[in-house]
Structure formats: structure tokens, C-alpha cells
Structure 1
């Protein structure tokens, strides 16, 4: 299995990544929202008075 970030062989300790660095890069992508699925914005419920 190849690392999804850099393509090097995966290390069992950081699977599916090859190193802590690539695992951290992937985490940063998730935290920034790079892996989001585009769609329509969710409308907020209208407040009842």
C-alpha cells in the first residue's frame, strides 16, 4: 500500500501513511475542510415569534 500523501510505501506504525509528517499533513487537510463535499448551504430555521 502506498502513502496517499507522497506515494512512498506505508509504514505499519502510521498506516496508511509512511510517516508522522504525512499523517499530520492529512490531518491538516481535514481540519481546513479540504475534503468537504460541495453542496447547497443549509438554511437556518426561521425563528418563531
Structure 2
């Protein structure tokens, strides 16, 4: 049974994905995608949380 993921294009550059780097075509595209996540280039949609709105109580009162 053939691997269907290998036929999908690289999500970074659009080239054919390489078996050793799925779903990317190369280590370079994998690294670029990781850097986007680490620098907030990619974000998961959702409500932003401002400081103090997380509902936590650390027990320290000034």
C-alpha cells in the first residue's frame, strides 16, 4: 500500500515531500517551519489571555 502522505506537497515551499522529512521536502523546510512556530509566526486561533485574567491565585497579596 503506497504512503499517501508522500504525495502531498511540502507545506513550506510546495515541492514534493521527501520520505525522510515528511511532510516537508527537506531538513531546511522542517527547520523554517519550526522557527515560525517558535517566533509566533504560526498561531493556533483562540482567545488571548492577558496577565491577571488566567484566574490563578498565587496567594501573594501586596
TM range (shorter): 0.7 to 0.9
- Tell me which stretches of 4 or more aligned residues in structure 1 moved more than 3 Å: 46-49
TM-score, with structure 1 as normaliser: 0.77
Q: List gaps (5 residues or longer) in structure 1.
A: none
TM-score, with structure 2 as normaliser: 0.64
Aligned to 1:26: 33
- Hey, what's the Cα distance between the residues in 2 that align with 1:12 and 1:27? 18
Tell which has more relative contact order, 1 or 2 (C-alpha 8 A, sep 6+). 1
Q: List gaps (5 residues or longer) in structure 2.
A: 1-7
RMSD over equivalenced CA pairs, Å: 1.9
Look at both structures and tell me which one has the larger radius of gyration over its CA atoms: 2
